[in-house]
Structures are given as structure tokens and as C-alpha cells.
């Protein structure tokens, strides 16, 4: 059996190389060359770690400090002209100040994505998109090339004594933990969770402490009803048609009460549910500037 001539073999390899080159070019055209990958499970984990303290995604869930994200995959496509849903969501993660959803209150931490890789960002976006169907993975990979958020300084120095003083104020003198517990679940039944308070700007936290009624998230507005001569005040929770459900707290603890709306007496003109203009959080009038600074130092460590 004769062996193939060298020039024949080279010609075959050359032809094969051309086919491989063409294949690679076609793949690059349809699937951008990138080291990033879209991982919906990673996105779900990132949502729980970075977003769930303020945002709900369940169908019947109420908004937290931030608006509910149930249905965001559909709504996102209508928010900014010329942007599809994937781009709107990715840009909102990278630059939260660039967009504000209709009716949104409060402040989303500007550096929420500073420590996230581009793969983290598009995976989080994929998880949100997956709530309304199958994410468009190719489109998300294209968006992985968007400019990344600026990194925050690696270290911020605090005096340990001040942080410890702030922690003592939080749990003892000021009793912040009663409404803002810092346990693993990050309960937000009575008030927004502060388990990631350190991601917010210090000025925003300072203003929220000194003037708690200046900006109130719609989900945490205090409502009041009158039933059989008894006034009940608390946070309004989602309820069925014709029902009013309030969560209130007193010396006996936290309780949830529910009423038929038609059985409630009017308390504000013709309204059966009055929305009070002030927050249930009391203004800190009995603390000095040093104590507020210490409390802010402690909150800055919560991330």
C-alpha cells in the first residue's frame, strides 16, 4: 500500500483548516466569543444574597423597600424606548441610578454590582428573565460587554470602638433590631431589612435615621382602620378581594388582623383605610451626634 504523498496530505490539512476557520467564524457571528457564561442557578443565588432583602418576585408578594420584581421580564421591555428587556435589566443592575421604575421610592445601592463579575450580572439578569419564560442567552452574552461599575475603595477604615458602640445602640438602647432583625432570614415583616445596609450611601442612611418620615416606601406606609369603635394601626399586607389585612405590633408582640372592608367604618372622608403620613419609626431625638455616627459605622459593616 502506497503512503500518501506529503503534498497531498498538506492539501487535505489545508482544506480542513479552511473548514475549521469558516466554522469558527460562523460560531463567532452567532455566539460572541467570551469567557462569560450564563448560569440561572447562580443568578438565583445572587438574587437571594443581594436583592431579596428589598425586592420580592413572588406573584402575591408585596414590595419591600424596593418595588416588586414579579413580572419584570415583561415590564422591562416597555420601560426605555430602544431597549429590550435584557438590556434594561442588565443596565439597571450596573447603574441603578440610571432608571427609576414608576412609583419607586427610596434608593437602590449604587455599588450593588461593584464586586460582581460580568458573568454574575448577566446570570442575575437571566434569573429575572426566567420568571416569565426562557432567557435569551445569546442576547445576555452580548450584553456582558457593557461597561462594568466602578469598583469602590477596597478598604474603609472605622474605629472598632465606634462600631461596637453602634452595635450596642442597635440592639439595646435604640432597640432597632425589634423591627429590623439581622438574623439569617433578614425578616422584613415590620420594616425593611437592614442586612445589607452597608451597601447604601452613608448620607442616605443618616437622612433615614434623622427623618424617617421624609421618604416612606409604599409597602411600609402606616395604615389605620376603625372597626366596631376600635382603631387598628399597622402595615398593610396583601389580602384577597374585599379584605383588609394589617400587621401591627404592641407589648404582646406582632399580630396580623384581617377585616371585611365593607364592615369598616370610614376614617378619612369616604375612605375606610387611612394612610398616615408619618412612619412608625420614631425620630431619634434622644441621641447625640456621636451616637448617630457610631450607629452609622455599625450599619456600614452590614453587607
53 and 73 inside one domain: yes
Tens-digit pLDDT profile for residues 58-109? 766 555 667 778 888 888 888 888 899 999 999 989 888 777 666 565 567 7
246 is a domain residue: yes
Residue 140's nearest CA partner among 150, 152, 131, 128 is 128
Q: Mean pLDDT throughout 269-292? A: 85
Range 192-215 average pLDDT: 85
Domains in the chain, number: 3
pLDDT higher than threshold 90 for residue 236: no
Q: Whole-angstrom Cα distance, residue 270 to residue 21? A: 74
Same domain, 204 and 263: no
The confidence score (pLDDT) of residue 8 equals 40
Domain boundary among 110, 143, 176: 143
210 and 292: one domain?
Answer: yes
Are 53 and 129 found together in one domain?
yes
**Is 134 a member of any domain?**
yes
- All three cell numbers of 14, joined, read 489545508
Answer yes or no: do 204 and 228 share one domain. Answer: no
pLDDT of residue 48: 85
Give the H/E segment covering residue 226: strand 222-227
Stretch 39-46: mean pLDDT, rounded? 92
pLDDT above 90 for 161:
yes
Q: Quick one: 138 and 46 in the same domain?
A: yes
CATH number reported for the structural domain that contains residue 208 in this entry: 1.10.760.10
Domain boundary among 143, 168, 197: 143
pLDDT band per the 50, 70, 90 thresholds, residue 128: very high
Q: Which domain holds residue 266?
A: 222-275
Residue 66 · residue 104 · CB < 8 Å? yes
Is there a single domain that holds both residue 44 and residue 134? yes
139 and 166 part of one domain: no
| Same-domain status, 137 and 165 | no
| Burial of 218 per CB tally in 10 Å (0-12, 13-18, 19+) | middle
Res 11: pLDDT: 42
pTM of full prediction above 0.75: no
Q: Does residue 271 lie within any of the structural domains?
A: yes
Please give the mean pLDDT across all residues of the chain: 79
Please tell me the distance from the alpha carbon of residue 271 to that of residue 264, in angstroms, as a whole number. Answer: 9
Residues 114 and 44 in one domain: yes
Residue 233 has pLDDT above 60, yes or no: yes
- 24 within a domain of the structure (yes/no): no
pLDDT of residue 131: 85
Q: Does one domain contain both 131 and 51?
A: yes
Residue 129 lies in a domain: yes
How does pLDDT run across 163-202, given as a tens digit for each residue?
A: 999 999 999 999 998 888 887 554 567 788 888 888 788 8
Please report the pLDDT score of residue 215 as a whole number. 78
The reported pLDDT for the residue numbered 26 is 42
Euclidean distance between CA atoms 203 and 208, whole angstroms: 9
Average pLDDT over residues 221-246: 89
pLDDT of 303 higher than 80: no
Per-residue pLDDT of 246-280, as tens digits, reads 988 777 778 899 999 999 998 877 889 998 887 87
For the chain, give the percent of residues with pLDDT over 90. 27
Residue 181 domain-assigned (yes or no):
yes
Q: Are residues 165 and 55 in the same domain?
A: no
Amino acid at each position: 500500500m502506497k503512503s500518501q504523498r506529503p503534498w497531498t496530505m498538506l492539501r487535505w490539512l489545508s482544506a480542513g483548516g479552511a473548514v475549521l476557520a469558516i466554522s469558527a467564524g460562523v460560531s463567532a457571528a452567532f455566539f460572541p466569543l467570551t469567557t462569560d457564561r450564563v448560569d440561572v442557578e447562580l443568578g438565583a443565588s445572587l438574587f437571594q444574597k443581594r436583592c431579596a432583602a428589598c425586592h420580592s418576585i413572588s406573584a402575591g408578594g408585596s414590595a419591600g423597600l424596593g418595588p416588586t420584581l414579579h413580572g419584570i421580564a415583561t415590564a422591562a421591555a416597555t420601560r426605555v424606548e430602544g431597549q429590550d428587556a435584557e438590556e434594561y435589566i442588565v443596565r439597571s443592575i450596573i447603574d441603578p441610578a440610571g432608571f427609576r421604575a414608576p412609583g419607586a421610592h427610596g434608593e437602590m445601592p449604587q455599588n450593588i454590582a461593584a464586586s460582581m463579575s460580568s458573568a454574575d450580572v448577566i446570570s442575575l439578569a437571566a434569573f429575572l428573565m426566567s420568571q416569565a419564560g426562557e432567557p435569551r442567552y445569546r442576547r445576555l452574552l452580548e450584553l456582558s460587554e457593557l461597561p462594568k461599575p466602578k469598583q469602590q475603595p477596597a478598604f474603609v477604615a472605622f474605629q472598632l470602638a465606634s462600631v461596637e458602640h453602634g452595635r450596642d445602640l442597635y440592639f439595646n438602647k435604640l432597640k432597632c433590631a425589634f423591627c429590623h432583625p439581622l438574623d439569617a432570614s433578614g425578616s422584613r415583616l415590620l420594616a425593611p431589612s437592614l442586612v445589607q445596609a452597608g451597601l447604601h450611601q452613608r448620607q442616605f442612611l443618616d437622612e433615614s435615621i434623622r427623618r424617617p418620615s421624609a421618604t416612606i416606601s409604599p409597602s411600609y406606609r402606616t395604615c389605620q382602620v376603625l372597626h366596631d369603635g376600635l382603631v387598628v394601626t399597622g402595615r398593610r399586607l396583601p389580602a384577597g378581594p374585599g379584605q383588609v389585612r394589617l400587621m401591627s405590633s404592641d407589648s404582646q408582640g406582632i399580630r396580623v388582623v384581617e377585616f371585611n372592608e365593607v364592615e369598616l367604618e370610614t376614617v378619612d372622608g369616604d375612605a375606610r383605610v387611612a394612610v398616615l403620613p408619618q412612619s412608625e419609626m420614631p425620630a431619634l431625638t434622644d441621641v447625640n451626634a456621636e451616637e448617630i455616627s457610631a450607629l452609622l459605622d455599625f450599619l456600614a459593616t452590614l453587607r
